[in-house]
Structure formats: structure tokens, C-alpha cells
Amino acid sequence: MNEIWTEKYRPRSLDDVIGQKDVTQRLKGYVEAKNMSHLMFAGSPGTGKTTCALALARGMFGESWKGNFIELNASDDRGIDTVRGKIKDFARTAPVEGAEFKIIFLDEADALTNDAQGALRRTMEKYSRTCRFILSCNYSSKIIDPIQSRCAVFRFRPLNDDDIREFLEKIASSENLDMEEGAMDSLVYIARGDMRKAVNTLQTSASVGGTITADTVSKVSGTANEKDVLEILTTALGGDFIGSRNKLDTIMINYGLSGQDVIRQIHSAVFTLPLETRDKVRLVDKIGEIEFRLIEGSNEKIQLEALLAYLVMAGGKS
């Protein structure tokens, strides 16, 4: 139970990476050619960017991959010093064990200031004979154009629910976990395409001991059950303001949710509600307004109750 499952179950080869088939297909081309350009991996967290960089290095360098690969995090030291220091130190030493070049994987490259990116660009040029960079970021638009134009860009999509479910089922079976029906649905709902979040939430839920239930998953992740959120909304739409308010109070206390947590979950539930598209659009507009007020520090109880009141009126049954 001590080992972190995101490491234990991290795919070692490009063939084992889940989803991201377009990306892995192209990366395998580099492995076959034993050569690559600078790369940029863009996409949301927990979708396989670091995993693919490691698998690419393994495929490219075989046994000697560790000596020819370094992983740095740009946000450890937001700025120019990371680029000038650690990167240059690694870049200026020759590749080991007959490799043609080394790979520098720079995570959260979009956290670098523009000045630091300028310095990075010069470093990329200076050492391009012996070093290839893989820049990982959530948003490629935050990377300056001269760097973007030097890189082949790879886009990582959030993983789909079936892929997440299948991966979690494999882990659950190899860890002999006892899971109640519904727990897996909650994990997939909470992950929203982020495999790291899915695996971490599964491990934390397992550490509680006993059968893993949807409720354990919700509690350890500080996320209400999808079913409970829908129930609050449909109760309000059905005209029962007091009933929906009581349910809301209960889930906020049980799961320790903040107003902002709740509003985000309500937002993602809107499109499953039995409403005309026009009414859903109005509701999204209202949610946007209330979320803004909550961020500005308004009283969360009053704001959330105002949203329930709005739903009661929208339902037209009070």
C-alpha cells in the first residue's frame, strides 16, 4: 500500500499508454527513426504528457535512457534561473553510451515568464545538436511564438470515461479491491478525463479500508455525488424550495464542500436537466453570475439559495 499507484501503474512503453493514439503513433515514428525534433506536449493535467516523454526516452535510448533524459519542472523556480542553470548544466555535457542526443523534458513550461522563455529559446538553439527539448504545458498559447515554431506540437486530450474505467478496473483487480457498484461511476465522474486524479482518488479511497463505496469516493475527493447534485436541482425545478435547500445543506456538510465546489458541480450537471435548451442557457448565465459573486466573497448560503430560487421559478411549479 506504500507505493504510489500513479507511479506503480504508469505505462512504461508507448504501446501501453491509454488513449492518445494519434500522439503515440507519431512518437513511435521518432523511436523507429532514432531521431526527433524539439517537441511540445500540450493538454490538461493527468493525460499522459510526462508518461509519453518517459516512454519515448526508453524507446529511443533503451537501457541508457536515464543518463540521457532529465525531467525538470519550470514552476519549481519560476524563471530565468531554471533555464540558465539546470538546463544548461545538463545540455552542455555530451550524451552517454553512444546516444546522438539527450532529451530535456520541461514540465509546466507555460509557467516560465516571457524573459525566461526567451532565454530558453536561445539555449534550445545553442545546444540543438546534442539536445532535444520536450516542453510540456497546459496551454500552448502561453508559449512564445519563436519557441512554438521550433517545436512539433502534440495535443493531449482528456481521457474518455471508458478508458479511465478500464484502467481503474485493472488496478482494482491487481490490488484485490472490493468495490461496490457505483463507486467506479463516481471515480470516473470525479476524474473528468484526468487519469492521475482517477488513480489517486482510487488509492485514497482504498486506504480508508473495507469496501469502496460511492460515498467513500465522494468523501475522500471532497466532491458530492453526481446523483445528489442532480436531485437538488430537480427538487428545486419541481417547486420544492425547502426540500432542495435541505438537501444542499446536507451535502455541503457531509462532503465539506465550499460554495465554489458546489457551483462547479451544478454547472456540469446543467445539461442533464430536463429543460429546454433556451432555459439551460439562461441557467448557465445565472450560474456564471453567481460563481463570480462567490469568488468576489459574497455570502455563499445566500447565493446558492438564490440559485435554487431561480430554479424553482424556472420550473414554474411553485
Ligand X SMILES: Nc1ncnc2c1ncn2[C@@H]1O[C@H](COP(=O)(O)OP(=O)(O)OP(=O)(O)O)[C@@H](O)[C@H]1O
Among 27, 46, 206, 315, which residue interacts with ligand X (rule: CB under 6 A)? 46
Q: Kindly state whether residue 51 participates in binding ligand X, applying the rule CB under 6 A.
A: yes
Comparison of 25 and 246: residue with beta carbon closer to ligand X: 25
Q: Is 43 annotated as a binding residue?
A: yes
45 among annotated binding-site residues = yes
**Beta bridge mates, 104:** 70, 133
Is 49 annotated as contributing to ligand binding?
yes
C-alpha closest to that of 197 among 21, 9, 46: 46
Nearer to ligand X, 196 or 267 (CB): 196
Q: Looking at the DSSP assignment, which residues form a beta bridge with residue 42?
A: 137, 155
Binding to ligand X by residue 199, rule CB under 6 A? yes
Residue 203 sits in the site that holds ligand X (CB under 6 A): no
Per DSSP (E only), the strands in the chain are: 38-43, 69-73, 102-107, 131-137, 151-156
Out of 84, 86, 196, 293, the residue judged to bind ligand X by CB under 6 A: 196
**Residues 227, 213: Cα–Cα separation, whole Å:** 14
Judged by CB under 6 A, does residue 110 bind ligand X? Answer: no
Q: How far is the CB of 249 from ligand X (least distance, A)?
A: 34
Closer to ligand X by Cβ: residue 55 or 252: 55
How is 40-92 classified by DSSP, letter by letter? EEEE-TTSSHHHHHHHHHHHHHGGGGGGGEEEEEGGGGTTHHHIIIIIHHHHT
Q: Which of 56, 99, 105, 107 contacts ligand X by CB under 6 A?
A: 107
Kindly state whether residue 191 participates in binding ligand X, applying the rule CB under 6 A: no
Residue window 205-244: x/- pattern of binding to ligand X, with contact defined by CB under 6 A: ----------------------------------------
61 binds ligand X (CB under 6 A): no
Among 48, 158, 259, 315, binds ligand X (CB under 6 A): 48
- 56 part of the interface to ligand X, by CB under 6 A: no
Half-sphere exposure of 266 (CA within 13 A, CB side): 29
Please give the Cα distance from 226 to 241 (Å, whole number). Answer: 20
- The one-letter code for the residue type at 250 is T
Maximum CA pair distance of the chain? 77
Q: How far is CA 18 from the centre of its chain?
A: 14
Q: Give Cα 222 to chain centroid, integer Å.
A: 16
Stretch binding ligand X (CB under 6 A), from 14-22, 85-93, 181-189, 201-209: 14-22
Radius of gyration in angstroms for the set of CA atoms belonging to the chain, rounded to a whole number = 24
* C-alpha cell belonging to residue 143: 508559449
Q: Tell me how far apart the alpha carbons of residues 192 and 185 are, in angstroms, rounded to a whole number.
A: 11
Residue least distant from ligand X (Cβ):
48
Instruction: Based on the shown chain and the rule CB under 6 A, indicate whether residue 6 belongs to the binding site for ligand X.
Output: yes
Rounded to whole angstroms, how far apart are CA atoms 35 and 95? 14
Question: Does residue 10 belong to the site contacting ligand X (CB under 6 A)?
Answer: yes
Site track for ligand X across 289-318, x = CB under 6 A:
------------------------------
Q: Pick from 30, 36, 40, 47: which binds ligand X (CB under 6 A)?
A: 47
Contact between residue 217 and residue 177 where contact means Cβ atoms under 8 Å apart? no
Which set of grid coordinates corresponds to residue 186?
463516481
Query: Phi then psi for 29, rounded to 5 degrees?
Result: -60, -40
20 binds ligand X (CB under 6 A): yes
Q: How far is the CB of 7 from ligand X (least distance, A)?
A: 6
The residues binding ligand X (CB under 6 A) are 6, 9-11, 17-20, 45-51, 107, 136, 159, 167, 195-196, 199
Residue positions in the annotated binding site for ATP? Answer: 43-50
